[in-house]
Amino acid sequence: MPESPIRKLVPYAEAAIQSGVEVIHLNIGQPDIPTPDEAMNALKQYDEKVLSYSHSAGFESLRAGFARYYTNLGMSIETKNVIVTTGGSEAIQFVLGSIMDAGDEIIIPEPFYANYNGFAIQSGVKVVALPSSIESGFALPPLSDFEKAIGPKTKAIMICNPGNPTGYLYSKAELEKLKEIVLKHDLFLLADEVYREFAYDGLKHTSILSLDGLEQNAIVLDSVSKRYSMCGARIGTIVSKNQAVMSIALKFAQARLSPPTLAQVASLGALSTPDSYFEKVNAEYTHRRNTLVNGLNKIEGVFCPMPKGAFYCVARLPVSDTEAFAKWMLQEFRLDGRTLMFAPNAGFYSSNVLGKDEIRLAYVLKEEKLLLAVEILEKGLRAYQALNA
């Protein structure tokens, strides 16, 4: 199993904190946005005498609630099209196990969420990565690249939309191109859509479940974690109209018995969160994005494309190995008793060879912390370059 590029440097951060240093954490997508009252109130009102199992696919009331949520977004989903999982991570694991056998291949544009590698290894599946370019803002690779990568073992293409770590938001035109190639080769199209609500600059998210003709090929992987700032709830979903796939995924769900009951209670409450919550959250993330990305691009030698969704950005730094730089920052560099933690981006590529001069940052902290982070990074870079001159 590969180490997490997001969490592997935690011991260095812990040591810094124990020595009295304030570490500004932009390495992990843990929002500081309050969880909606609707979710917390549902927990407070829970008065059952026994904390019981649910159905292996999740409480029917929650599945029906998710079905209404997706249908309201134009996807025409029924309760039978939803399985509740223990986080989006389990959704990915169940789907890979349901549609692929050991030795099969899945094509994923990179950089991608690092744990896709680990999930694939667990399932004996080979990831075939297609590099995207920071110069293009990590847009969809050319269709010719997909055609070249498809072989007899290829079973699926997977995307994250909006993307982690890139923040790239795929356009409907790009999704139509993927639909064309998926139907041509009879593949599944998996979309990790956990950041669906976070699309900026007037852009709208398009779900693969809304694409006509893709009903039997589309599988959405979802989670309440980021949408409702409920990372600790560990509730995700598999959503698909392909009932053969859902029947197999249910076998995996039965093997782990059921998703956590109290987290399902909170998630059902969260589904009644008003749109005004997301309007405020999006406005806040847009402001934070602009603060961080504009600040990064003012640093000499740094390039950071403007993300259109999620709450991550990838920046290219004028250093050859950002993991070594990240460790040095945590161990050696201090600015008024503070330092910065970020995720080296090489770990978001399948080979760990690409992206060695890139970092991923999550703009999940308030403006004052982001401004401070930019200042620490700028001065840290200068000191590191002088040291290695």
**CATH number of residue 233's parent domain:** 3.40.640.10
My answer on whether 20 and 62 are in the same domain is no
Counting other chains too, the contacts that 377-383 makes at CB distance below 8 Å and 24 or more residues apart are 377/296, 377/299, 377/340, 377/342, 378/299, 379/333, 379/335, 380/325, 380/329, 380/333, 380/335, 380/339, 380/340, 381/299, 381/301, 381/302, 381/317, 381/318, 381/319, 381/325, 383/333
Is position 5 within any domain?
no
Q: In this structure, what CATH number is given to the domain that contains residue 16?
A: 3.90.1150.10
Is residue 283 within 8 Å of residue 348, measured between CB atoms? no
CA gap 318, 132 in Å, rounded: 20
116-to-101, 126, 153, 169, 369 alpha-carbon distances in Å: 16, 11, 18, 19, 30
pLDDT at position 389: 80
Q: Give which of 39, 36, 59, 27 is closest to 330, Cα–Cα.
A: 27
CA gap 381, 80 in Å, rounded: 53
**Furthest-apart CA pair in the chain: how many Å?**
67
Query: How would you classify the pairing of strands 126-131 and 154-160?
Result: unpaired
pLDDT tens digits, one per residue of 97-147: 999 999 999 999 999 999 999 999 999 999 999 999 999 999 999 999 999
My answer on whether 86 and 181 are in the same domain is yes
Of 238, 253, 270, which marks where a domain is finished? 270
My answer on whether 47 and 73 are in the same domain is yes
My answer on whether 353 and 254 are in the same domain is no
My answer on whether 162 and 226 are in the same domain is yes
* Residue 290 backbone zone (phi > 0: left; psi -120 to 50: alpha; other: beta): alpha
Confidence band (pLDDT; 50, 70, 90) for 330?
very high
Which two tokens mark 282? 């999006």
Predicted confidence (pLDDT) at residue 191 exceeds the cutoff of 90:
yes
pLDDT tens digits, one per residue of 154-175: 999 999 999 999 999 999 999 9
Residue 94 DSSP SS3? helix
My answer on whether 29 and 45 are in the same domain is no
My answer on whether 117 and 164 are in the same domain is yes
pLDDT at position 353: 86
Is position 330 within any domain?
yes
Confidence band (pLDDT; 50, 70, 90) for 182?
very high
How far is the first Cα of the chain from the last one, in angstroms, to the nearest whole number? 36
pLDDT tens digits, one per residue of 308-319: 999 999 999 999
pLDDT tens digits, one per residue of 64-75: 999 999 999 999
Write the CB contacts of 247 (distance below 8 Å, at least 6 apart in sequence). none
My answer on whether 266 and 324 are in the same domain is no
Domain of 21 in residue numbering reads as 10-34+276-387
Of 220, 241, 270, which marks where a domain is finished? 270
Predicted confidence (pLDDT) at residue 5 exceeds the cutoff of 80:
no
**What's the rounded mean pLDDT across residues 260-275?**
98
My answer on whether 21 and 57 are in the same domain is no
Is residue 4 within 8 Å of residue 347, measured between CB atoms? yes
pLDDT at position 375: 98
Q: How many CB atoms lie within 10 A of CB 222?
A: 25
My answer on whether 164 and 232 are in the same domain is yes
Per the structure, the count of domains in the chain is 2
CA gap 193, 160 in Å, rounded: 6
Backbone φ, ψ for residue 135 (5° rounding): -65, -30
My answer on whether 339 and 242 are in the same domain is no
